[in-house]
A = this chain, B = another copy of it.
């Protein structure tokens, strides 16, 4: 199995989720994160003083999938989240040793 981590633009979450559902990936876990990268932050100006906000709000998606599906999941995330603008984000893949569904105790692929 693989553990896929995608950092994307917050407003691309809905399209990505819909695209994953379409290829039958229903489970995922989402976290709000702050991203630092090539895309730069912005300044806010209050009473003449500039405040530099150097991070950007991003969303992290984590999905556990069977190894055979990994490539198609990565591709689906990419195609549904790409806008072509800097800051679109990244997709990372890590090897996943085991998975278990808490409710039933099922393990591995059955647990996903």
Contact = CB atoms under 8 A, between A and B. Distances in A.
Contacts of A32: 31
A90 B101 contact: yes
A60 B3 CA distance: 15
A97 B99 contact: no
A100 B74 contact: yes
A109 interface: no
For this complex, into which size category does the number of interface residues on chain A fall? 35 or more
Given A36-B28, A38-B26, A60-B31, A100 B90 contact: yes
Interface in A52-68: 55, 58, 60, 64
Nearest to A86: B103
A27 B31 contact: no
Interface of A: 2-3, 6-8, 17, 26-38, 55, 58, 60, 64, 74, 77-78, 81-103, 105, 111-112
